[in-house]
A and B are shown apart, each in its own frame.
Chain A
Amino acid sequence: MLRKTSYLGILLIALVVVTVLMTLFNGIGFLSLRNLRSMSFQLPELGILTLAMMIAMLTSGINLSIIATSNLSGIMMALILTRLVPAESPLAGSIWITILAILAGLAIGAIVGMLNGFLVAVVDISPILATLGTMIMISGISVVITEGYVISGFPQAILTIGNKSFLGIPNPMIIFLICAGVMAVILNRTPLGTRIYMIGSNPTATFYSGVNNRKVLFRTYIISGIYSGVAAIIMISRFNSAKADYGESYLLQTVLAAVLGGISASGGFGKVSGLIISLIIMQMISSGLNLLGVSNFLTIALWGIILILVMVLKYLLEKGVSKRRVA
């Protein structure tokens, strides 16, 4: 108990430090409503993908195929939107097509999730290998469908999702908050969630306590796939296009964000709240440095340094706690 509370504590302190530093460097304008809003337009893509990564990591697995899944489901949506909607059609006519496209995109996510679930739960391949294989294959299928080209030019309805606000809150942020809320409920309030944590801590013990591990893992990867599909909606709407290799740099970033947020890489531990704080920290750093005109790549390097520092702190803290306990 002590451990978890203190890690959230570290994260909160890190958040305050980062906020203060960025405000000092950039002036009070950094905390202006406009800047906060622009940050909350950027955070959700990575945020939803990180949720997709998180649920797999909690079972002590990993899902390397999230970005590839996202792109394939984005392409599926783009195909429906561009091939079924005539260019001159009014917004009213395209609402149903948009809904159809979104459902199809989510279905693609679920199907890839089922494939991953089958490989991990039934065939018994280690998750990193199974999802590495599906990642390469799925991104290959995307390339085959698009032949490497960009699909662009969507109706207004889908663009609204990624670029407009509702009551002053950017739509992507609303979607992200709903996704995070649903994930928190799944993990904390349902039997499935409890079992996910159990499998992450000790799969053998979980199996012998009467849990159907296969079913839990299967569902885990389906949820992960559907979340990738949701991320795809925001992605294609913000880019106004779909392509086979968008957002490839997100993959390692999701692992980084999840681990920074306290999701244990060996499974079993981690909460949505920690994840949200870590996403805000990363977004603050990237926006703050961007305003200062610092290269994107320095931001990437800084994320790496912060990740290692936080892990080192966590290690020292745990060591301190266990020493005290022994004494």
Chain B
Amino acid sequence: MKNLLYRHETYVFLAIIIFVTVVSVINPAFFTLENFFDLLKSASLMGTFAIGMLFVLISGGIDISFTAIATVSGYTIAVLLLRIGESLNIFLVFLIASLIGIALGMINALIIHNFKIPSIITTIATQNIFYGILTVITTGTWLYGFPQWFGDFATIRLFTFYTKGGAPYGLSIVTLIWIVLILISWFILRYTVLGRGIYAMGGNTLSAQRAGFNLFGLTMFVYSWMGLMAGIGSVIQALLVQTVAPNSLVGKEMDVIAAVVLGGASMAGGSGSVLGMILGVTLISILGNGMTIMRVPAVWYNVVIGLVIIVSVGASAYRRKIFTRRKVITETPPSGGQSAA
């Protein structure tokens, strides 16, 4: 029980509960199954990106280029859908997008590992390269008018309910994809050597290497995984809006990083959890959705999000500071005072 108080996730969860209660009291339309499914559907895109970002942050790196990767893979599948759309199916679309994402992620990993260039600089550079070249080739044209089956797939629901007006709603296929990805990530991080390796590398690179982890392999996996999520995310985006625009994602990378960090992942690496990531994404989505439902003018959105990030990250940093200080004094010698929590 005492342990629970030291966990960042607990506080994010409390914040969500309080906010949900307040919004529900003001407008009961918020606390309905329909709105809940709607929320999950719109959170799926950011959530998928956030899965990739979580792995990168845990490994002690950062990836700014994933929006550009998603744009490249999204644009490629959009062109394919328009040219040979009738001979494709949804699995091929996901496969192609994933392969492109993985390939571009590998480029990041190769540069970061071989030349020891900090990940933030590498990925800023590759974001410019991927996005710049794509925009030159495509001249920024929007693509739409995809085959019928691609539009139909997006409307698949797992459970179907009907509103009083007769409109159907339910758990969207898009949300289902997100949930499956979450389960896979949770399994990797929790129960595999690979997952342990990623935490170890983020906690202390040198120790991880001494302990026998293959740093090159881990780096390759982490950035390819981010690329994979960017690829899958690009298909989700195309499914949700049925349009692909080269400029719709680039520039939004900070939102995803903010969501993951809100969930307790640290910039220094070595910490972060799937549960925290889900809570972070949920909190950001609920804030947006709830403010709309409470009829708060949209212009206030960023002010609130910014405040929430500052307060949440600030509180956890301050708690850690106090906690570490106490620990240093009472338990460990100063040199070992680095808290992994």
Name A308's contact: one of B111, B254, B317 (CB within 8 Å). B111
Task: Mark out the residues of chain B between 300 and 314 whose CB falls within 8 Å of any chain A CB in the assembled complex.
Answer: 300-307, 309-310, 313-314
Residue in A248, A295, A299 whose Cβ sees the most chain B Cβ within 10 Å: A295
The reply to whether B128 and A303 form a contact with Cβ atoms under 8 Å apart is yes
Contact partners of B118 in chain A: CB under 8 A:
265-266
- Report how many residues on chain B are interfacial, defined by Cβ distance under 8 Å: 46
Cα–Cα distance between A303 and B127 once the two chains are bound (Å): 11
Asked whether A128 is an interface residue with its Cβ less than 8 Å from the other chain, the reply is yes
Cα–Cα distance between A315 and B121 once the two chains are bound (Å): 14
Task: Mark out the residues of chain A between 72 and 113 whose CB falls within 8 Å of any chain B CB in the assembled complex.
Answer: none
Cα–Cα distance between A249 and B225 once the two chains are bound (Å): 27
Given A303-B128, A304-B129; A129-B304 close (CB under 8 Å): no
Nearest chain A CB to B301 CB, angstrom units: 7
Contact partners of B111 in chain A: CB under 8 A:
308, 312
The reply to whether A134 and B306 form a contact with Cβ atoms under 8 Å apart is yes
Interface size band for A: 35 or more
Task: Mark out the residues of chain B between 231 and 272 whose CB falls within 8 Å of any chain A CB in the assembled complex.
Answer: 251, 254, 257-258, 261, 266-268
The reply to whether B254 and A300 form a contact with Cβ atoms under 8 Å apart is no
Residue of B nearest to A129 (CB): B313
Asked whether B131 is an interface residue with its Cβ less than 8 Å from the other chain, the reply is yes
Asked whether A259 is an interface residue with its Cβ less than 8 Å from the other chain, the reply is yes
Cα–Cα distance between A67 and B128 once the two chains are bound (Å): 18
Given A128-B267, A129-B261; A305-B314 close (CB under 8 Å): no
Cα–Cα distance between A128 and B57 once the two chains are bound (Å): 13
Asked whether B116 is an interface residue with its Cβ less than 8 Å from the other chain, the reply is yes
Task: Mark out the residues of chain B between 119 and 171 whose CB falls within 8 Å of any chain A CB in the assembled complex.
Answer: 120-122, 124-129, 131-133, 135-136, 139
Task: Mark out the residues of chain A between 133 and 149 whose CB falls within 8 Å of any chain B CB in the assembled complex.
Answer: 133-141, 143-144, 147-148
Contact partners of B268 in chain A: CB under 8 A:
126
Name B306's contact: one of A140, A301, A303 (CB within 8 Å). A140
Contact residues of A with B, CB < 8 Å?
64, 119, 123-126, 128-130, 132-141, 143-144, 147-148, 248-249, 252, 255-256, 259, 265-266, 295, 297-305, 307-308, 311-312, 315
| Top 4 A-B residue pairs of the complex, sorted by shortest distance between their CB atoms | A137-B306, A140-B302, A301-B132, A304-B128
